[in-house]
Amino acid sequence: MGPVFFMNHSFQKIGILGGGLLGGSLAFALQNSAEVRLWFRKKEAVSKAQKLGISGATSGLKEAVENCDLLILAVPIGAMPELLVAALAAGLPKTALVTDVGSVKQPPHRQLSPILMEAGNAFIGSHPMAGSEQSGLLAARADLFEGAACLLTNDSGAADELVKRLDHFWKSLGCRTQWFSAAEHDQVVARISHLPHITAAATALSALQENPEYGDLAGGGLKDTTRVAGGNPAMWAEILCENKDAIAVELRDNIRHLNEILASLEVVDLETARTWLEQAKQLRDRL
């Protein structure tokens, strides 16, 4: 993978815990502008990462967190508290800012902030909207964040200086940043990320479960509509359950829309069907 150049940021040593798509892409993007350590739980993954060009890959937690000024948690949300405790025990400096790249924000603020407050560290939530239905280090790339939105949360009250530094950090990777409360964040992503994943999965089940071979006859519409349903099921099950309350609101709204179009078809109301589809087209065309 060739070098990708971004503007400078103020973090000198960055520890990334978790070498999946987001963690690996961060390592690729940052290793020319900072000392980067990408931590893997399994030793056998380290040599694979090094062969891909990530020189700072390690399975040593102490090596990953020692002297770092920014620690990025890129593991499943449920694994973050235990790993953070281990990182502190391994020597994470009190001066290090901690952030994560999880898809929900209320659980990290609720679970991680007390741990870090006791240790003297600050926590800010990050959510780069740069995921993919592909997962794992082999899907990682240095330009993954270019042009992506990054949603940030500061419910834990980090200092303004740290807020500005982290905002600049994500912008240096090519992101467009926007700040929310954790609750607002979870409501927004329930609508624009989690609901689309559910509807893609439901469409795949409706279209293909009875006879998967029908997929051989499908054009681009089915593939485009169900693309994100190819994401990691275990990861997405955790995300959806963590954000169940906000998602339930959006699902009910989606069901209302489906019932409206169903009712118009049952009575052959061509005008209502056309209006429904025209409104959807106009909104989609703005993306």
**Residues 164 and 208 both lie in one domain:** no
Query: Would residue 4 count as lying in a domain?
Result: no
Count of H-run helices and E-run strands, the chain: 12, 8
Cβ contacts of residue 90 below 8 Å, gap of 6+? Answer: 61, 62, 64, 65, 66
**Residues 76 and 164 both lie in one domain:** yes
**Residues 28 and 133 both lie in one domain:** yes
> Which of 180, 199, 229 is the C-terminal boundary of a domain?
180
pTM (2 decimals)? Answer: 0.91
Cβ contacts of residue 240 below 8 Å, gap of 6+? Answer: 194, 197, 198, 247
Tens-binned pLDDT, residue by residue, of the chain (287 aa): 444 444 578 899 999 999 999 999 999 999 988 999 999 998 889 999 999 999 899 999 999 999 999 999 999 999 999 999 999 999 999 999 999 999 999 999 999 999 999 999 999 999 999 877 677 888 899 999 999 999 999 999 999 999 999 999 999 999 999 999 999 999 999 999 999 999 999 999 999 999 999 999 998 999 999 999 998 999 999 999 999 999 999 999 999 999 999 999 999 999 999 999 999 999 999 98
- Give the residue numbers spanning the domain of 231: 186-285
Query: Would residue 170 count as lying in a domain?
Result: yes
**Residues 152 and 200 both lie in one domain:** no
**Residues 83 and 23 both lie in one domain:** yes
Q: CB of 39 within 8 A of CB of 62?
A: no
Specify the CATH number for the domain of residue 258.
1.10.3660.10
**Residues 100 and 129 both lie in one domain:** yes
Report the alpha-carbon distance of residue 200 to residue 206 in Å, rounded.
10
Q: Which phi and psi (to 5°) does residue 231 adopt?
A: -70, 170
Query: Would residue 40 count as lying in a domain?
Result: yes
Report the alpha-carbon distance of residue 24 to residue 4 in Å, rounded.
14
**Residues 124 and 195 both lie in one domain:** no
Dihedral-angle region of residue 76 (phi above 0 means left; psi in -120 to 50 means alpha; beta otherwise): beta
